[in-house]
Structure 1
Amino acid sequence: RKMPKVKTNRVKYPEGWELIEPTLRELQAKMREAENDPHDGKRKCEALWPIFKIAHQKSRYIFDLYHRRKEISKELYEFCLDQGYADPNLIAKWKKPGYERLCCLRGCASGD
């Protein structure tokens, strides 16, 4: 009798992950801090600025490593997008002429 295969929730990290993990962990910690920061007296949009800024930093870090400096593999780049370490929609805009410095997608949301 065969034992049934047990599925584990372990994620297989691509080669090179150990090089970028410390920076991503640091940005994740900053993000948690920004999310938990009390926003007494701040307008809703002001309270969200630090969160958008950190999300931008994470996406820009991964974008630059892959597209500009060519320091990470396509596999690692796609892993980061799939796992939510970077915003694929924001990166798609950065690749288009005129959007290279876009900070977040709120500025070009249709219907506003």
Structure 2
Amino acid sequence: MPKIKSSRTKRAPEGFDDIEPTLREFQTKMKDAENDPHEGKRKIEALWPIFRLHHQRSRYVYELYYKREAISKELYEYLLKQGYADANLIAKWKKAGYEKVCCLRCIQPKDTNFGTTCVCRVPRDKLEDGKVIECIHCGCRGCSSGSGASAGSAASRKGKPAAKSDDA
């Protein structure tokens, strides 16, 4: 969640006004996901929409800076400092083999039963045919970067729109 702005808060760098509507839209969706009634869902499943939105918002900032080079370094660092994107998740996306990782919990061995990474990190060609996998942490259905992996995040595979990246 972005930090609260006050009269003492540093002014946003040039270019922030261009991407602010998209960031506000993510913030509104995040609030809606937090306030959504969780009837019929397990406690952990209620957090999945929040993880997806966090991923989409961080991916939006990552693509603006690294892929499209549409924002300045100063604005990128400002967005990270203000909490608009997850710096640790973006750092993983820059490493080989982690280009599509959905969340940091999926790559932490301490969060699994057998001391390995999450099942969503297993490439599709290594799984049994027709077996549907789903991460217990974030609901991802496969974020491995290896061969046989499908492109996109869990949100795009579930039929939900991905973050707009044409707004900059």
TM-score (structure 2 length as normaliser): 0.61
More helix by share: 1
The answer to whether residue 28 in structure 2 is matched with residue 23 in structure 1 is no
* Structure 2 counterpart SS, 1:111: helix
How big is the shift at 1:44? 1.8
CA–CA separation in structure 2 for the residues paired with 1:8 and 1:26: 23
Q: Which residue of 2 aligns with 1:109?
A: 108
Please list, as runs of the form range in 1=range in 2, the aligned pairs for 1:22-41 lying within 5 A after superposition: 22-41=21-40
Q: Which amino acid aligns with 1:57?
A: Q
How big is the shift at 1:8? 3.3
Gaps of 5+ in 2: 1-5, 112-168
How big is the shift at 1:46? 1.0
Q: Which amino acid aligns with 1:30?
A: K
Q: Which amino acid aligns with 1:24?
A: L
CA–CA separation in structure 2 for the residues paired with 1:25 and 1:46: 24
CA–CA separation in structure 1 for the residues paired with 2:46 and 2:90: 24
Query: Can you list the C-alpha shifts for 1:36-70, whole angstroms capped at 9, x where unaligned?
Result: 10112211221111000000011000000000000
TM-score (structure 1 length as normaliser): 0.90
CA–CA separation in structure 2 for the residues paired with 1:87 and 1:110: 20
